[in-house]
Chains A and B, each alone.
Chain A
Amino acid sequence: DAGITQSPRHKVTETGTPVTLRCHQTENHRYMYWYRQDPGHGLRLIHYSYGVKDTDKGEVSDGYSVSRSKTEDFLLTLESATSSQTSVYFCAISGTGETQYFGPGTRLLVL
């Protein structure tokens, strides 16, 4: 299994609070991705990174920001959490090939 961890694994927060999710990899892969998964929508790309300090928006980036200051860490921040951001968040990585390897997911509940 690819070395990918996500933290926290579960989080409950209140509307309007900032939240940061962390993805950490030990594979030295160049590409990292943040997805959200919701019933009826499948996986949707929030942001992705193609190198340190190089990031780009996905299809559902509004309300989210990311940072990648080191190869191994990709942070996803919800600046002011809303109930619509209740979801399961997955981080993924890929290297020279196109196969993506997924982390275990973070369940976020925004009350």
Chain B
Amino acid sequence: KNEVEQSPQNLTAQEGEFITINCSYSVGISALHWLQQHPGGGIVSLFMLSSGKKKHGRLIATINIQEKHSSLHITASHPRDSAVYICAVNAGNNRKLIWGLGTSLAVNP
């Protein structure tokens, strides 16, 4: 079992829908990251969280340290949000990240 699990693996939505992607982890962490990767493209960091909630535009990330769970929400989804969303955590004192396998999101017009 991976130390970082994401759900769902694949997600299809209609434009305008509210989307939630989940990340659960089984280790103690200092920070959790959400990243985005467009098809054939590079990887971009969206958020780094250690507690609470962060918002950037239509993206909201939350984390519950006690439950070892984080969610990434996308409001008013758009086809340009179609991408793979990846969760990763910092565990321990080094800079290595433990990676989830990603959630592939397709938003249809």
Contact = CB atoms under 8 A, between A and B. Distances in A.
Interface of A: 31, 33, 40-45, 48, 50, 58, 90, 92, 94, 97-105
A50 B95 CA distance: 9
B87 to A, nearest CB: 10
A58 B95 contact: no
Contacts of A98: 30-31, 33, 48, 90, 95
Contacts of B76: none
Nearest to A44: B99
Interface in B2-57: 30-31, 33, 42-45, 48
Given A42-B86, A104-B42, A105-B42, A99 B99 contact: no
B96 A40 contact: no
B100 A42 contact: yes
Contacts of B60: none
Nearest to B45: A99
Contacts of A44: 99
Given A42-B102, A99-B33, A102-B43, A48 B96 contact: yes
The 9 A-B pairs of least Cβ separation, nearest first, read A102-B43, A42-B101, A43-B99, A42-B99, A104-B42, A99-B45, A99-B48, A98-B31, A31-B95
Nearest to A97: B48
B42 A103 contact: yes
B96 A100 contact: no
Contacts of A105: 42
Contacts of B43: 43, 90, 92, 102
Given A42-B86, A43-B86, A100 B97 contact: yes
Nearest to A58: B96
Nearest to B95: A31
A104 B101 CA distance: 19
A49 to B, nearest CB: 10
A40 B42 contact: no
Contacts of A99: 33, 45, 48
18 contacts: A31-B95, A40-B101, A41-B101, A42-B86, A43-B86, A43-B97, A45-B97, A48-B95, A58-B96, A92-B43, A94-B95, A98-B30, A98-B48, A98-B95, A99-B48, A100-B33, A102-B43, A105-B42
